[in-house]
Copies of this chain bind each other. A is one copy, B any other.
Amino acid sequence: MTTSPHSKERTLASSEDRILASIRKFGALSRAELGERLGYSRATVASALDRLLMLKIIKEERELGQSQGGRRPRIYGINRDLGFVVGVDIGATHLDLALADFKGNILEQVSNPADVHEEPEKVLGTVIELIKQALEKQNGRLDQILAIGIGVPGPVQFDQGILIAPPLMPAWEFFPIREFMQQTFTAANVIVDNDVNVMAIGESCAGAGKNIDNFIFVKISTGIGAGILCQGEIYRGHDGAAGDVGHICVDYNGPTCHCGNVGCLEAMAAGPAIAARGIEAAQNNQSEKLAQAFTDNNGTLTAELVGDAAKAGDAAANEIVKSSGRMIGGMLASLVNFFNPQLIIIGGSVSHIGIRLLSAIRQAVLRRSTALSTRHLHIEFSQLGNDAGVIGAIWLSLEHVFTVDV
Protein backbone atom coordinates (compact mmCIF):
# COMPACT_ATOMS: atom_id res chain seq x y z
CA MET A 1 0.00 0.00 0.00
CA THR A 2 1.84 3.04 -1.17
CA THR A 3 0.70 6.40 0.05
CA SER A 4 1.39 9.87 -1.11
CA PRO A 5 4.00 11.69 0.98
CA HIS A 6 1.42 13.93 2.60
CA SER A 7 -1.34 11.45 3.03
CA LYS A 8 -0.35 10.51 6.56
CA GLU A 9 -1.00 14.05 7.78
CA ARG A 10 -4.27 13.90 5.91
CA THR A 11 -5.54 10.66 7.39
CA LEU A 12 -9.04 11.01 8.78
CA ALA A 13 -10.60 9.16 11.68
CA SER A 14 -13.54 6.99 10.76
CA SER A 15 -16.08 9.48 12.14
CA GLU A 16 -14.46 12.35 10.22
CA ASP A 17 -14.41 10.31 7.07
CA ARG A 18 -18.09 9.36 7.37
CA ILE A 19 -19.13 12.94 8.08
CA LEU A 20 -17.23 14.11 5.01
CA ALA A 21 -18.84 11.38 2.89
CA SER A 22 -22.31 12.38 4.11
CA ILE A 23 -21.76 16.03 3.29
CA ARG A 24 -20.40 15.05 -0.11
CA LYS A 25 -23.42 12.87 -0.81
CA PHE A 26 -26.23 14.99 0.59
CA GLY A 27 -24.82 18.54 0.44
CA ALA A 28 -24.30 20.90 3.36
CA LEU A 29 -25.72 19.59 6.65
CA SER A 30 -26.22 20.84 10.19
CA ARG A 31 -24.74 19.25 13.31
CA ALA A 32 -28.13 17.80 14.23
CA GLU A 33 -28.64 16.33 10.75
CA LEU A 34 -25.17 14.76 10.80
CA GLY A 35 -25.76 13.23 14.22
CA GLU A 36 -29.09 11.82 13.10
CA ARG A 37 -27.88 10.38 9.81
CA LEU A 38 -24.80 8.73 11.28
CA GLY A 39 -26.05 7.83 14.75
CA TYR A 40 -23.27 9.90 16.38
CA SER A 41 -23.43 11.71 19.69
CA ARG A 42 -23.22 15.52 19.73
CA ALA A 43 -19.71 15.25 21.13
CA THR A 44 -18.53 12.97 18.32
CA VAL A 45 -20.02 15.24 15.66
CA ALA A 46 -18.51 18.30 17.33
CA SER A 47 -14.98 16.96 17.58
CA ALA A 48 -15.04 15.55 14.03
CA LEU A 49 -16.37 18.82 12.61
CA ASP A 50 -13.71 20.76 14.50
CA ARG A 51 -10.94 18.76 12.91
CA LEU A 52 -12.49 18.92 9.42
CA LEU A 53 -12.86 22.71 9.80
CA MET A 54 -9.32 23.04 11.12
CA LEU A 55 -8.00 21.12 8.09
CA LYS A 56 -10.17 23.37 5.87
CA ILE A 57 -11.78 20.27 4.35
CA ILE A 58 -15.22 21.64 5.11
CA LYS A 59 -16.43 25.16 5.82
CA GLU A 60 -19.38 26.82 7.40
CA GLU A 61 -21.77 27.89 4.67
CA ARG A 62 -23.07 31.46 4.53
CA GLU A 63 -26.66 30.26 4.35
CA LEU A 64 -28.39 28.70 7.32
CA GLY A 65 -30.16 25.31 7.31
CA GLN A 66 -33.82 24.44 7.78
CA SER A 67 -35.22 25.20 11.20
CA GLN A 68 -36.30 22.14 13.16
CA GLY A 69 -38.30 24.09 15.69
CA GLY A 70 -35.81 26.64 17.00
CA ARG A 71 -33.54 29.03 15.18
CA ARG A 72 -32.14 28.05 11.81
CA PRO A 73 -28.92 26.04 12.30
CA ARG A 74 -25.48 26.56 10.80
CA ILE A 75 -24.65 24.13 8.03
CA TYR A 76 -21.34 22.74 6.88
CA GLY A 77 -20.35 22.07 3.28
CA ILE A 78 -17.33 20.98 1.27
CA ASN A 79 -14.58 23.58 0.90
CA ARG A 80 -14.25 23.48 -2.85
CA ASP A 81 -11.00 25.45 -2.74
CA LEU A 82 -9.06 22.91 -0.68
CA GLY A 83 -7.25 21.77 -3.81
CA PHE A 84 -7.72 20.06 -7.16
CA VAL A 85 -8.49 16.50 -8.16
CA VAL A 86 -8.08 14.89 -11.58
CA GLY A 87 -10.15 12.26 -13.38
CA VAL A 88 -8.56 10.33 -16.24
CA ASP A 89 -10.38 7.90 -18.51
CA ILE A 90 -7.90 5.95 -20.62
CA GLY A 91 -9.56 4.23 -23.55
CA ALA A 92 -8.07 2.05 -26.28
CA THR A 93 -7.65 4.97 -28.69
CA HIS A 94 -8.17 8.15 -26.68
CA LEU A 95 -7.91 9.65 -23.26
CA ASP A 96 -10.34 11.97 -21.53
CA LEU A 97 -9.16 14.07 -18.67
CA ALA A 98 -10.72 16.61 -16.35
CA LEU A 99 -9.45 18.87 -13.60
CA ALA A 100 -12.02 19.48 -10.87
CA ASP A 101 -12.28 21.40 -7.63
CA PHE A 102 -12.61 19.59 -4.30
CA LYS A 103 -16.38 19.57 -4.68
CA GLY A 104 -16.13 17.69 -7.99
CA ASN A 105 -17.01 20.60 -10.28
CA ILE A 106 -15.16 20.24 -13.55
CA LEU A 107 -12.91 23.24 -14.23
CA GLU A 108 -11.06 22.03 -17.31
CA GLN A 109 -11.77 19.09 -19.59
CA VAL A 110 -9.79 17.76 -22.53
CA SER A 111 -9.88 14.81 -24.92
CA ASN A 112 -6.79 13.55 -26.65
CA PRO A 113 -6.02 10.71 -29.03
CA ALA A 114 -3.87 8.06 -27.38
CA ASP A 115 -2.76 4.55 -28.20
CA VAL A 116 -2.97 2.28 -25.22
CA HIS A 117 -0.78 -0.30 -26.99
CA GLU A 118 2.13 2.04 -26.41
CA GLU A 119 4.39 2.00 -23.37
CA PRO A 120 2.74 3.25 -20.17
CA GLU A 121 5.50 5.88 -19.76
CA LYS A 122 4.45 7.46 -23.03
CA VAL A 123 0.70 7.44 -22.44
CA LEU A 124 1.05 8.58 -18.83
CA GLY A 125 3.56 11.22 -19.99
CA THR A 126 0.78 12.66 -22.14
CA VAL A 127 -1.58 12.50 -19.14
CA ILE A 128 0.93 14.44 -17.02
CA GLU A 129 1.35 17.08 -19.71
CA LEU A 130 -2.40 17.52 -20.07
CA ILE A 131 -2.82 17.86 -16.30
CA LYS A 132 -0.06 20.48 -16.18
CA GLN A 133 -1.71 22.46 -18.98
CA ALA A 134 -5.10 22.34 -17.28
CA LEU A 135 -3.51 23.36 -13.98
CA GLU A 136 -1.77 26.30 -15.61
CA LYS A 137 -5.07 27.61 -16.96
CA GLN A 138 -6.38 27.55 -13.39
CA ASN A 139 -3.19 29.10 -12.00
CA GLY A 140 -2.68 26.00 -9.87
CA ARG A 141 0.48 24.38 -8.51
CA LEU A 142 1.48 20.72 -8.89
CA ASP A 143 1.25 20.15 -5.13
CA GLN A 144 -2.35 21.35 -5.12
CA ILE A 145 -3.43 18.14 -6.85
CA LEU A 146 -4.83 16.08 -3.99
CA ALA A 147 -5.87 12.95 -5.85
CA ILE A 148 -5.90 11.46 -9.34
CA GLY A 149 -8.41 8.79 -10.36
CA ILE A 150 -7.54 6.75 -13.44
CA GLY A 151 -9.76 4.32 -15.33
CA VAL A 152 -7.97 1.79 -17.55
CA PRO A 153 -9.40 -0.77 -20.01
CA GLY A 154 -8.20 -3.93 -18.24
CA PRO A 155 -8.34 -5.91 -14.99
CA VAL A 156 -6.85 -4.02 -12.05
CA GLN A 157 -5.48 -5.20 -8.72
CA PHE A 158 -7.20 -2.36 -6.98
CA ASP A 159 -5.25 -2.21 -3.73
CA GLN A 160 -1.97 -1.87 -5.61
CA GLY A 161 -3.14 0.10 -8.62
CA ILE A 162 -1.58 -2.26 -11.14
CA LEU A 163 -2.98 -4.07 -14.15
CA ILE A 164 -3.06 -7.87 -14.20
CA ALA A 165 -2.92 -9.68 -17.55
CA PRO A 166 -4.58 -6.88 -19.54
CA PRO A 167 -5.34 -8.25 -23.02
CA LEU A 168 -5.48 -4.80 -24.69
CA MET A 169 -2.37 -3.38 -23.06
CA PRO A 170 0.17 -6.11 -22.22
CA ALA A 171 3.00 -3.60 -21.78
CA TRP A 172 1.17 -2.17 -18.76
CA GLU A 173 1.11 -5.38 -16.72
CA PHE A 174 2.55 -4.70 -13.25
CA PHE A 175 3.55 -1.16 -14.26
CA PRO A 176 3.57 1.03 -11.09
CA ILE A 177 1.14 3.67 -12.34
CA ARG A 178 0.71 5.16 -8.89
CA GLU A 179 4.40 5.68 -8.17
CA PHE A 180 5.03 6.97 -11.69
CA MET A 181 2.36 9.66 -11.33
CA GLN A 182 3.43 10.57 -7.80
CA GLN A 183 6.92 11.49 -9.02
CA THR A 184 5.28 14.56 -10.53
CA PHE A 185 2.24 15.03 -8.29
CA THR A 186 3.87 14.47 -4.95
CA ALA A 187 0.82 15.41 -2.86
CA ALA A 188 -1.65 13.26 -4.77
CA ASN A 189 -3.17 9.94 -3.90
CA VAL A 190 -3.38 8.03 -7.18
CA ILE A 191 -6.17 5.49 -7.58
CA VAL A 192 -6.39 3.12 -10.53
CA ASP A 193 -9.48 1.12 -11.40
CA ASN A 194 -11.01 -0.74 -14.30
CA ASP A 195 -12.71 1.61 -16.76
CA VAL A 196 -16.15 0.03 -16.38
CA ASN A 197 -15.98 0.24 -12.59
CA VAL A 198 -15.10 3.91 -12.97
CA MET A 199 -18.10 4.50 -15.24
CA ALA A 200 -20.33 2.76 -12.69
CA ILE A 201 -18.95 5.08 -9.98
CA GLY A 202 -19.79 8.05 -12.21
CA GLU A 203 -23.38 6.91 -12.65
CA SER A 204 -23.61 6.16 -8.93
CA CYS A 205 -22.40 9.59 -7.82
CA ALA A 206 -23.74 11.84 -10.53
CA GLY A 207 -25.87 9.86 -13.00
CA ALA A 208 -28.62 7.28 -13.37
CA GLY A 209 -27.50 5.33 -10.30
CA LYS A 210 -27.72 8.11 -7.72
CA ASN A 211 -29.04 6.82 -4.39
CA ILE A 212 -29.37 3.28 -5.78
CA ASP A 213 -27.50 0.67 -3.77
CA ASN A 214 -27.51 -2.30 -6.12
CA PHE A 215 -27.10 -1.88 -9.83
CA ILE A 216 -25.21 -3.28 -12.81
CA PHE A 217 -23.62 -0.91 -15.31
CA VAL A 218 -23.08 -2.55 -18.70
CA LYS A 219 -20.63 -1.03 -21.13
CA ILE A 220 -21.20 -2.02 -24.74
CA SER A 221 -18.46 -0.94 -27.12
CA THR A 222 -15.64 -2.92 -28.76
CA GLY A 223 -16.07 -5.33 -25.87
CA ILE A 224 -18.76 -5.83 -23.26
CA GLY A 225 -18.11 -5.44 -19.53
CA ALA A 226 -20.00 -4.66 -16.36
CA GLY A 227 -19.43 -2.60 -13.23
CA ILE A 228 -21.27 -3.81 -10.14
CA LEU A 229 -22.57 -1.56 -7.40
CA CYS A 230 -23.37 -3.73 -4.39
CA GLN A 231 -24.71 -2.27 -1.12
CA GLY A 232 -23.60 1.17 -2.26
CA GLU A 233 -20.04 0.22 -3.10
CA ILE A 234 -18.20 -0.99 -6.16
CA TYR A 235 -17.75 -4.75 -5.98
CA ARG A 236 -14.48 -5.83 -7.60
CA GLY A 237 -14.41 -9.55 -6.81
CA HIS A 238 -11.69 -11.67 -5.28
CA ASP A 239 -9.15 -11.05 -8.08
CA GLY A 240 -10.47 -7.71 -9.33
CA ALA A 241 -12.06 -9.63 -12.20
CA ALA A 242 -15.74 -9.20 -11.32
CA GLY A 243 -18.00 -7.92 -14.08
CA ASP A 244 -16.26 -9.69 -16.94
CA VAL A 245 -19.60 -10.50 -18.53
CA GLY A 246 -18.38 -10.22 -22.13
CA HIS A 247 -16.99 -13.73 -21.86
CA ILE A 248 -20.16 -15.36 -20.61
CA CYS A 249 -21.16 -18.01 -23.12
CA VAL A 250 -24.42 -17.33 -24.95
CA ASP A 251 -24.10 -19.96 -27.66
CA TYR A 252 -22.14 -23.21 -27.32
CA ASN A 253 -22.00 -23.38 -31.12
CA GLY A 254 -21.03 -19.72 -31.52
CA PRO A 255 -17.92 -18.22 -33.13
CA THR A 256 -14.50 -18.31 -31.47
CA CYS A 257 -13.72 -15.31 -29.27
CA HIS A 258 -10.30 -13.66 -28.92
CA CYS A 259 -10.19 -15.23 -25.43
CA GLY A 260 -10.08 -18.70 -27.00
CA ASN A 261 -13.56 -19.83 -25.98
CA VAL A 262 -16.56 -20.08 -28.29
CA GLY A 263 -19.84 -18.22 -28.17
CA CYS A 264 -18.79 -15.42 -25.81
CA LEU A 265 -21.34 -12.60 -25.62
CA GLU A 266 -18.65 -10.12 -26.64
CA ALA A 267 -17.83 -12.03 -29.83
CA MET A 268 -21.51 -12.20 -30.77
CA ALA A 269 -23.08 -8.92 -29.66
CA ALA A 270 -20.48 -6.15 -29.22
CA GLY A 271 -19.59 -3.45 -31.77
CA PRO A 272 -17.40 -5.54 -34.10
CA ALA A 273 -20.04 -8.31 -34.30
CA ILE A 274 -22.72 -5.76 -35.19
CA ALA A 275 -20.45 -4.25 -37.83
CA ALA A 276 -19.61 -7.68 -39.27
CA ARG A 277 -23.28 -8.59 -39.54
CA GLY A 278 -23.95 -5.25 -41.19
CA ILE A 279 -21.23 -5.91 -43.77
CA GLU A 280 -22.70 -9.34 -44.44
CA ALA A 281 -26.16 -7.84 -45.00
CA ALA A 282 -24.67 -5.16 -47.27
CA GLN A 283 -22.80 -7.70 -49.36
CA ASN A 284 -25.74 -10.11 -49.58
CA ASN A 285 -28.07 -7.38 -50.83
CA GLN A 286 -30.32 -7.70 -47.78
CA SER A 287 -30.37 -3.96 -47.29
CA GLU A 288 -29.98 -1.06 -49.68
CA LYS A 289 -29.19 1.37 -46.89
CA LEU A 290 -26.41 -0.79 -45.50
CA ALA A 291 -25.04 -1.40 -49.01
CA GLN A 292 -24.97 2.35 -49.61
CA ALA A 293 -23.31 3.05 -46.27
CA PHE A 294 -20.79 0.29 -46.98
CA THR A 295 -19.85 1.95 -50.28
CA ASP A 296 -19.81 5.48 -48.80
CA ASN A 297 -17.58 4.26 -45.97
CA ASN A 298 -14.90 2.80 -48.25
CA GLY A 299 -16.00 -0.80 -48.12
CA THR A 300 -16.51 -1.27 -44.42
CA LEU A 301 -19.08 -0.56 -41.71
CA THR A 302 -19.12 0.30 -38.01
CA ALA A 303 -21.72 -0.54 -35.40
CA GLU A 304 -22.67 3.15 -35.39
CA LEU A 305 -23.40 3.08 -39.14
CA VAL A 306 -25.56 -0.02 -38.68
CA GLY A 307 -27.33 1.92 -35.92
CA ASP A 308 -27.87 4.89 -38.23
CA ALA A 309 -29.49 2.60 -40.81
CA ALA A 310 -31.68 1.08 -38.09
CA LYS A 311 -32.78 4.53 -36.95
CA ALA A 312 -33.63 5.36 -40.56
CA GLY A 313 -36.00 2.38 -40.59
CA ASP A 314 -33.89 -0.24 -42.34
CA ALA A 315 -35.34 -3.67 -41.54
CA ALA A 316 -32.10 -5.68 -41.84
CA ALA A 317 -30.19 -3.19 -39.67
CA ASN A 318 -32.98 -3.24 -37.12
CA GLU A 319 -32.86 -7.00 -36.91
CA ILE A 320 -29.09 -6.87 -36.33
CA VAL A 321 -29.51 -4.33 -33.52
CA LYS A 322 -32.35 -6.30 -31.94
CA SER A 323 -30.46 -9.58 -32.18
CA SER A 324 -27.56 -8.02 -30.30
CA GLY A 325 -29.97 -6.71 -27.66
CA ARG A 326 -31.59 -10.12 -27.29
CA MET A 327 -28.24 -11.76 -26.60
CA ILE A 328 -27.18 -9.08 -24.11
CA GLY A 329 -30.60 -9.28 -22.47
CA GLY A 330 -30.45 -13.07 -22.28
CA MET A 331 -27.15 -12.84 -20.42
CA LEU A 332 -28.51 -10.10 -18.15
CA ALA A 333 -31.57 -12.23 -17.35
CA SER A 334 -29.25 -14.75 -15.69
CA LEU A 335 -27.56 -12.00 -13.71
CA VAL A 336 -30.92 -10.55 -12.64
CA ASN A 337 -31.92 -13.96 -11.24
CA PHE A 338 -28.62 -14.16 -9.40
CA PHE A 339 -28.11 -10.56 -8.27
CA ASN A 340 -31.63 -9.09 -8.15
CA PRO A 341 -30.48 -5.50 -8.80
CA GLN A 342 -32.76 -2.48 -8.70
CA LEU A 343 -31.32 -1.02 -11.89
CA ILE A 344 -29.35 -1.96 -14.99
CA ILE A 345 -27.62 0.94 -16.74
CA ILE A 346 -26.71 0.47 -20.40
CA GLY A 347 -23.73 2.57 -21.50
CA GLY A 348 -20.66 2.55 -23.75
CA SER A 349 -20.23 3.90 -27.27
CA VAL A 350 -22.31 1.20 -28.97
CA SER A 351 -25.31 1.78 -26.67
CA HIS A 352 -25.97 4.91 -28.74
CA ILE A 353 -27.11 2.85 -31.71
CA GLY A 354 -30.67 3.19 -30.66
CA ILE A 355 -33.62 2.52 -28.46
CA ARG A 356 -34.37 -0.75 -30.26
CA LEU A 357 -31.27 -2.13 -28.55
CA LEU A 358 -32.65 -1.10 -25.16
CA SER A 359 -36.08 -2.43 -25.99
CA ALA A 360 -34.70 -5.82 -27.04
CA ILE A 361 -32.60 -6.01 -23.86
CA ARG A 362 -35.63 -5.21 -21.72
CA GLN A 363 -37.80 -7.81 -23.45
CA ALA A 364 -35.20 -10.53 -23.09
CA VAL A 365 -34.69 -9.80 -19.40
CA LEU A 366 -38.42 -9.79 -18.68
CA ARG A 367 -38.91 -13.01 -20.60
CA ARG A 368 -36.16 -14.92 -18.86
CA SER A 369 -35.93 -13.53 -15.31
CA THR A 370 -38.16 -14.54 -12.41
CA ALA A 371 -41.17 -12.31 -11.80
CA LEU A 372 -40.04 -11.41 -8.28
CA SER A 373 -36.59 -10.29 -9.36
CA THR A 374 -37.95 -7.94 -12.03
CA ARG A 375 -40.73 -6.49 -9.89
CA HIS A 376 -38.88 -3.23 -9.26
CA LEU A 377 -36.20 -3.53 -11.92
CA HIS A 378 -35.46 -0.62 -14.24
CA ILE A 379 -33.26 -0.90 -17.31
CA GLU A 380 -32.10 2.52 -18.53
CA PHE A 381 -29.50 4.18 -20.69
CA SER A 382 -26.52 5.83 -19.03
CA GLN A 383 -27.18 9.44 -18.05
CA LEU A 384 -23.58 10.54 -18.34
CA GLY A 385 -22.93 9.01 -21.75
CA ASN A 386 -19.38 9.58 -22.98
CA ASP A 387 -18.50 11.47 -19.80
CA ALA A 388 -19.28 8.56 -17.45
CA GLY A 389 -15.61 7.55 -17.32
CA VAL A 390 -14.08 10.93 -16.65
CA ILE A 391 -16.78 11.93 -14.13
CA GLY A 392 -16.44 8.56 -12.42
CA ALA A 393 -12.67 9.01 -12.22
CA ILE A 394 -13.16 12.38 -10.49
CA TRP A 395 -15.48 10.81 -7.90
CA LEU A 396 -13.10 7.88 -7.45
CA SER A 397 -10.32 10.37 -6.69
CA LEU A 398 -12.54 12.36 -4.29
CA GLU A 399 -13.35 9.19 -2.36
CA HIS A 400 -9.67 8.54 -1.81
CA VAL A 401 -8.13 11.92 -1.06
CA PHE A 402 -7.68 10.91 2.57
CA THR A 403 -7.16 7.19 2.14
CA VAL A 404 -3.96 5.58 3.30
CA ASP A 405 -4.76 2.00 2.38
CA VAL A 406 -6.81 1.94 -0.79
Partner of A14, one of B39, B165, B259, B340: B39
> Are the CB atoms of B164 and A249 closer together than 8 Å?
no
Query: A331's closest neighbor in chain B, by CB?
Result: B334
- A sample of 12 inter-chain contacts (CB < 8 A) reads A14-B39, A228-B338, A237-B341, A241-B340, A241-B370, A247-B337, A247-B370, A249-B330, A334-B334, A334-B335, A335-B338, A338-B339
By the criterion CB–CB under 8 Å, are B226 and A214 in contact? Answer: no
A375 interfacial by beta-carbon distance below 8 Å: yes
Task: Say whether B230 contacts A376, CB under 8 Å.
Answer: no
Q: Does A342 touch B at the CB level, under 8 Å? A: yes
- Chain A, residues 225-256, CB within 8 Å of chain B (1/0): the string is 01010110101111111111101110000000
Q: Select one of B237, B333, B340 contacting A249, CB under 8 A.
A: B333
A261 CB contacts on chain B under 8 angstroms: 367-368
A359 located at the interface, meaning its Cβ lies under 8 Å from any Cβ of chain B in the complex: no
Beyond the given pairs A238-B342, A244-B373, A245-B337, 5 more chain A to chain B contacts, judged by CB atoms under 8 angstroms and listed by A's residue number, are A155-B372, A237-B339, A241-B337, A259-B370, A334-B335
Complex Cα distance A170/B14, Å?
46
Are B231 and A235 in contact, with the CB atoms below 8 A? yes
Chain B's closest residue to A248 (CB) is B334
Residue of B nearest to A333 (CB): B249
Are B333 and A244 interface neighbours, CB within 8 A? no
Q: Interface centre among A245, A261, A333, A370, by most B CB within 10 Å?
A: A370
* Interface residues in A133-175 (C-beta closer than 8 Å to B): 155, 164-165
Q: What's the nearest-Cβ distance from chain B to residue A337, in Å?
A: 5
Q: Could you tell me the distance in whole angstroms from the C-beta of A45 to the nearest C-beta in chain B?
A: 14
A237: chain B residues within 8 A (beta carbon):
214, 339-341, 373
Contacts of A54 in B (CB 8 A): none
Choose from B14, B164, B342, B367 the contact partner of A372 (Cβ within 8 Å): B164
Q: Say whether B242 contacts A338, CB under 8 Å.
A: yes
**A209-230 residues at the B interface, CB under 8 angstroms:** 213-214, 226, 228, 230
Chain A contact residues, CB within 8 Å of chain B: 14, 39, 155, 164-165, 213-214, 226, 228, 230-231, 233, 235-245, 247-249, 259, 261, 330-331, 333-335, 337-342, 367-373, 375-377
Task: From B230, B247, B367, give the contact of A231 (CB < 8 A).
Answer: B230
Shortest distance from the beta carbon of A234 to any chain B beta carbon, whole Å? 11
Q: In the complex this chain forms, how many copies of it are found?
A: 2
Partner of A230 from B235, B333, B373 at Cβ < 8 Å: B235
A239:B376 contact, CB within 8 angstroms: yes
Q: Which residues on B sit within 8 Å (CB–CB) of A330?
A: 249
Which chain B residues border A245 with CB–CB below 8 Å? Answer: 337-338
A340: B residues at CB distance < 8 A? 236-244
> Which residues of chain B have C-beta atoms less than 8 A from A375's C-beta?
239
Q: Which residues of B sit under 8 angstroms from A243, Cβ to Cβ?
A: 338, 340
**Which residues from chain B contact A39 at a C-beta distance below 8 Å?**
14
Contacts of A368 in B (CB 8 A): 249, 261
Q: How far is the CB of A178 from chain B (nearest CB, A)?
A: 20
Asked if A372 and B241 make an inter-chain contact with CB atoms under 8 angstroms apart, the answer reads: yes
Q: A249 contacts which chain B residues (CB < 8 A)?
A: 330, 333-334, 368
Chain B residues lying within 8 Å of A369, measured Cβ to Cβ, are: 247
A367 to B369, CA, bound (A): 25
A218→B244 CA distance, assembly (Å): 21
Q: Which one of A155, A213, A236, A372 has the greatest number of beta carbons of chain B within 10 Å?
A: A372
Contact residues in B for A240 (Cβ distance below 8 Å): 340, 372
Q: How far is the CA of A335 from the CA of B237 in the complex (A)?
A: 11
* Cβ distance A259 to chain B, nearest Cβ, rounded Å: 7
In the complex with contacts A335-B338, A340-B241, A376-B239, A371-B14 CB distance below 8 A:
no
